[in-house]
Amino acid sequence: MKVDFQYHFGLPAYNNFIQEMSFMVDDETTSVEEDDNGNVRYNLIDASIENTKGENNYFLKTTTPKHAYAWYITKILSSDYVDVSNNGPTQDDLGSFTSFQYKKVHSNYLWRNPQQDSVANFQEGELHTKRDNSASIIFGAKEVYYLDKIQTRNYVAEFFTSPRKDGLGTKGIHGGTNPYADLHKLDSIKLFAAFSDNTTGLIPIKTIYLNYDYSLCKNNPTTINRENPIENGKLTLKSISFSYGNSNKAKESPFVFAYTNNPEYHQKKVDRWGNYTRIKHDNTPYVNQDAMQQNEDASAWLLDSIKTPQNAAMKVYYESDDYAHVQNQKSMVMYKIAGVMCSNLDREIDTRQLCNCIAGADKKPAKYLVINIPRQASIRLTTNEDVFELLKILMNYILKLKLRL
């Protein structure tokens, strides 16, 4: 027998607005310095229509008006459900149902990237000049909801939350952490064998407890306690335990979670897919081709092992994703150009043999381009087709280089 269900997404959560700003930060007399996280400090007048920096005093501000960023599910109804009292899911209705209730903790939660006061993301222009360097900010406000209760005909699950120490909001468009604009963490879930809007005095048949610290991703800029290295990271789930009825015996034997790879927060250490990488990408935004390093980076801040109440252990292993084709083309690897040579050597080249392209002893242009291919590279030229493909790529590159010259 097939039973169809209706899913009602009846609660929209709104972004009240989103503002994106971009502006010049350098001029002829002063030059801003990019910090290690790729940010720069700016004067308030720089982020306004009165900007006087750079080649053209550029300032752009784009505002996106109020719009829904999420629709929360509010009820699930079976195909035979009948609302007898016409007041939504209640115990006197026919059929089966599941209702979801939420609590709003923020009507206007302010957020900003980057979080710090009077700091913006640095965007470097042409390398030959600093007068086209700019900075950008994204700032917004939104509603924040958390699940409060789930009800069915026979059960009620209540969710209990409390403020967390990370994920704090910002003071305003020019940044700074607001210690009073906090998000919440889930502390416990209580399950009752009853349909009731008031569970006071009822004994839950099961309670789930979640325990945290802030040990992962240390030096997170949105955490309250920046001085204590144990408490200045992001919210980290450490254990889950249970109790049944009035008995807390099972609570003494929790599931314990461990994390091994825990690099510090760094705004610029991400690859083009948004995953952590140990390499800070500035002018070379290419993926690290060291497989061992990539696999290790793939586990950053992720679960390493679980200890069960029975004292058993589960180990989690990670590996970096890979791909062989981009659409219908074979994927390629970016290799660094080691230099140029004036003569051809059919063997591995010592870097001391490289010369300046016009600084040879006879002052003639160098004819050979030397590419550094690491030993661990997976390229194997095993067929004539492979050799032909490599030569074709190099010839296209040399042709483009000649045309530019």
CA triplet 393, 394, 398: central angle to 5 degrees? 120
Is 176 in the same domain as 54? Answer: yes
* pLDDT at residue 126, as a whole number: 85
Domain-terminating residue out of 196, 222, 245: 196
* pLDDT at residue 386, as a whole number: 59
Is 80 in the same domain as 222? Answer: no
Of 100, 119, 141, 96, give the one whose Cα is nearest residue 3.
96
* pLDDT at residue 287, as a whole number: 78
Terminal alpha carbon distance of the chain: 74
What is the chain's alpha carbon radius of gyration, rounded to the nearest angstrom?
Answer: 29
Is 262 in the same domain as 380? Answer: no
Residue 328 lies in a domain: no
The list of the chain residues with pLDDT below 70 reads 1-3, 27-31, 226-227, 229-230, 282-285, 342-366, 374-405
Is 156 in the same domain as 226? Answer: no
Residue 327 lies in a domain: no
Range of the domain at 43: 1-196
- Identify the DSSP state of 82: B
- HSE-up of residue 273 (Cα within 13 Å, Cβ side): 9
Is 32 in the same domain as 88? Answer: yes
Is 297 in the same domain as 172? Answer: no
Tally of domains in the chain: 3
Is 83 in the same domain as 29? Answer: yes
Contacts of residue 265, defined as CB under 8 A and 6 or more positions apart, other chains included, come to 217, 218, 219, 220, 221, 233, 234
Is 86 in the same domain as 121? Answer: yes
Domain-terminating residue out of 196, 213, 240: 196
Domain-terminating residue out of 136, 166, 196: 196
Is 220 in the same domain as 177? Answer: no
* pLDDT at residue 360, as a whole number: 47
- Identify the DSSP state of 26: -
* pLDDT at residue 270, as a whole number: 86
* pLDDT at residue 388, as a whole number: 61
* pLDDT at residue 150, as a whole number: 95
DSSP E strands, 73-205: 75-78, 97-113, 119-123, 134-151, 156-163, 184-192
Is 186 in the same domain as 269? Answer: no
Is 275 in the same domain as 367? Answer: no
* pLDDT at residue 7, as a whole number: 95
Pairing of strands 97-113, 134-151: antiparallel
Is 22 in the same domain as 167? Answer: yes
